[in-house]
């Protein structure tokens, strides 16, 4: 039996719980991973999700910032959170699914990094680089049991490829696409032998975006997008991916997030 997995930076789950419900009804994912929930631990709006059949919810939140959650119709075990960079913030949660092909699912919200891509003058960017450095070691040794399968999803806040941004040359000095970030992302991929599942459906030669800025008056006409949201899988699971969609229409919904959901079907 296969499953449908979705990931979405919701940018405040309590503000946009109606949009979460709409997505679940229209797209019917079995598992939805949310980032930037901005919801204190224990205050996640789960009632309506339970009514839609999503009885299994793992959440890790804090007031006003960050926050991650996994909403599932399928039962899971072994909920865990890692404190990257010892900051005490809510940026990672993982669970393990044990039916059919067992796998560990990690949901991450990597720091955005601020505006200035210089770690000497921008502590937020320094934090982001440290986070990515730590991810490389973690992605190799701690993401799955020995010989097991795993998936990493989330707003990783890096656009690693040239066609993950609207203009490669212009954005080389813009946070999310600088060589300091893309080089670290490549090390993460290599360390865990991860497969960029989205790019198995859309080749690197084609543009692929999951985020459009609120600053653009007409985001659709300008189309100055970036791919910040990712689904990475170990080779065994990646080989079972059958379909991928970027639900771009959600960017036009009322009070939308600036990110859009990514959905992948696994056989």
Q: Catalogue all structural domains in the chain, each as residue range(s) with its CATH number.
A: 3-266 (3.60.10.10)
34, pLDDT greater than 70: yes
CB 129 within 8 A of CB 110: no
pLDDT bucket at 101, cuts 50 / 70 / 90 = confident
The pLDDT, as a whole number, for residue 210 is 98
Give per-residue pLDDT as tens, 119-156.
Answer: 999 999 999 999 999 999 998 877 777 668 999 999 99
Q: What is the DSSP letter of 20?
A: H
100, pLDDT greater than 90: no
The pLDDT, as a whole number, for residue 74 is 96
The pLDDT, as a whole number, for residue 159 is 98
257, pLDDT greater than 90: yes
The pLDDT, as a whole number, for residue 106 is 97
- Cα 62 from chain centroid? 18
Give per-residue pLDDT as tens, 167-186.
Answer: 999 999 999 999 999 999 99
Find all residues with CB under 8 Å of 239, minimum gap 6, and list them.
none
Find all residues with CB under 8 Å of 3, minimum gap 6, and list them.
30, 31, 74, 265, 266
Please give the residue that has the higher pLDDT: either 33 or 216. Answer: 33
Find all residues with CB under 8 Å of 264, minimum gap 6, and list them.
4, 5, 6, 197, 198, 231, 241, 243, 244
Mean pLDDT of 57-83: 96
pLDDT bucket at 99, cuts 50 / 70 / 90 = confident
The pLDDT, as a whole number, for residue 144 is 73
Mean pLDDT of 3-26: 98
The pLDDT, as a whole number, for residue 147 is 67
CB 64 within 8 A of CB 47: no
The pLDDT, as a whole number, for residue 59 is 97
Mean pLDDT of 56-81: 96
The rounded distance, in Å, linking the Cα atoms of 163 and 248 is 17
Interior CA angle at 110 toward 228 and 164, to 5°?
15
The rounded distance, in Å, linking the Cα atoms of 43 and 53 is 19
The chain-wide mean pLDDT, for the chain, equals: 95
1, pLDDT greater than 90: no
What is the pairing mode between strands 211-212 and 225-226? antiparallel
CB 73 within 8 A of CB 53: yes
């Amino acid at each position: 039996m296969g499953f449908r997995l979705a990931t979405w930076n919701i940018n405040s789950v309590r503000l946009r719980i109606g949009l979460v419900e709409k997505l679940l009804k229209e797209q019917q994912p079995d598992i939805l991973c949310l980032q930037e929930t901005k919801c204190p631990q224990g205050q996640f709006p789960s009632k309506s999700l339970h009514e839609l059949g999503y009885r299994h919810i793992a959440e890790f939140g804090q007031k006003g910032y960050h926050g991650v959650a996994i909403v599932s119709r399928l039962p899971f075990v072994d909920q865990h959170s890692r404190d990257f960079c010892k900051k005490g913030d809510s940026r990672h949660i993982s669970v393990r699914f044990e039916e059919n092909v067992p796998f560990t699912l990690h949901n991450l919200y990597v720091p955005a990094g601020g505006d200035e891509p210089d770690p000497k003058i921008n502590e937020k960017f320094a934090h982001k680089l440290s986070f990515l450095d730590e991810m490389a070691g973690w992605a190799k040794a701690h993401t799955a049991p020995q010989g097991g399968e795993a998936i990493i999803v989330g707003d990783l806040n890096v656009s690693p490829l040239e066609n993950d941004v609207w203009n490669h040359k212009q954005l080389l000095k813009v946070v999310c696409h600088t060589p300091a970030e893309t080089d670290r992302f490549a090390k993460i991929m290599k360390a865990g032998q991860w497969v960029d599942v989205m790019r198995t459906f859309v080749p690197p030669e084609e543009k692929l975006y999951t985020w459009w800025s609120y600053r653009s008056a007409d985001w659709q006409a300008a189309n100055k997008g970036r791919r910040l949201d990712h689904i990475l899988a170990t080779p065994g699971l990646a080989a079972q991916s059958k379909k991928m969609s970027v639900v771009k229409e959600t960017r036009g919904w009322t009070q939308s997030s600036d990110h859009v959901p990514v959905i992948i079907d696994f056989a």
